[in-house]
Structure 1
Amino acid sequence: MAARIEHLVTSGTFSLDGGTWEVDNNVWIVGDDEEAVVIDAAHDADAILVALGGRRLRAVLCTHAHDDHIDAAPALASRTGAMIHLHPDDLPLWKLTYPGSPPDRELTDGQVLTIAGTDLTVLHTPGHAPGAVCFHAPDLGVVFSGDTLFQGGPGATGRSFSDFPTIVESIRKRLLTLPPQTKVLTGHGDPTTIGDEAPHLEEWIARGH
């Protein structure tokens, strides 16, 4: 059976630089009836386990290490035996939440992870966070963008470890080069497509989004 994408929204908080905000996060599950991976284990390990429905969890994949994207990852991993995967450039952010408990595996640019016969290619897209990555699944026609690209523009770059020119270059070189029909499944909010976002790049730069 071909891989499919499932989606749930979990709610909690995001804390950084002394502030805390209420947030809703998208959690993405990619797999078939037997096995799956979770992209961004946010807030609620119990809800994610229910959505998995007893399937073997092969990996917990982190688009980046802001606490709202990883706060359910260790609990989910410990209850399933799955390994947590994170790009090493985000270890400083990870350590803010889990000092002394590093993730299990490193993600690298260009790495291909295969689940249920479907390839997910790791795209390193720094800017929102140093080790931010997206996962491109060409067979499914989607890219999981984390907080790098949203409907309407780049992810936020106003806090520690982030940089606006860097995120713009990541989007320009790594995402806007994907086929225009590619669906962008984001870390928060509604999906978009590469074709819908590409024409607005210069607007984002002009307004320093």
Structure 2
Amino acid sequence: MSDLRTLFDAASDLAGLSFAELARRHGMSVPADLRRHKGWVGQLLETALGATAGSQALQDFPELGVELKTIPLDARGKPLETTFVCTTPLVDITGVNWESSNVRNKLQCVLWIPIDGRREIPLAQRTVGTAFLWQPDASETALLKNDWQEHMDKIAMGQVERITAHQGEVLQLRPKAANGRVLTEAIGPDGERIQTLPRGFYLKTDFTWNIIRRTFNLD
């Protein structure tokens, strides 16, 4: 995309399309469900909008500084699940700070695309919602930064395996792996290297629900 306006207009034009219609446009097949294809909707929308980053630690549109995030909603417009932000560094984190963190990088400008997440509706018939752009305001940034710092401090102190998804006001840390056999290095309680599940940062649903409510003036 050449500029932000063009990207936003392209995303806006997708509103109301079913997943089947959008997939057909781009030569993709719709899976029966998302149990074994969890990232399929995101891939479909990345393809439709020409996202370039792939799996790299960059925004989806690095030339524009924009991250693309889909968010499945229920019939009331409420998010149905947490939103993955990025994987979490667990070693070699000396000198890492909020300003240079990938969480801040990913969330500095987000193109949100709500999608119909109702599980009773066949996947092919679910539709794309109204896209909107979001940048965290000062209070949201402070909440994100505080949670990120608390999580990273615990990781640095060798407490990664004591962090639960309940911790963090708006940003949680939890395992991010295809299965329990995928392990990575982390710092242990005594400063030694241990093997643990990879972790990811996720936005909690109350946080994204507040964004949705404010954007669409929902009660």
User: Which structure ranks higher in relative contact order (CA pairs < 8 Å, sequence separation ≥ 6)?
Assistant: 2
What TM-score do the two structures reach when normalised by structure 2?
Answer: 0.33
Larger radius of gyration: 2
More strand as a share of residues? 1
More helix as a share of residues? 2
What TM-score do the two structures reach when normalised by structure 1?
Answer: 0.34
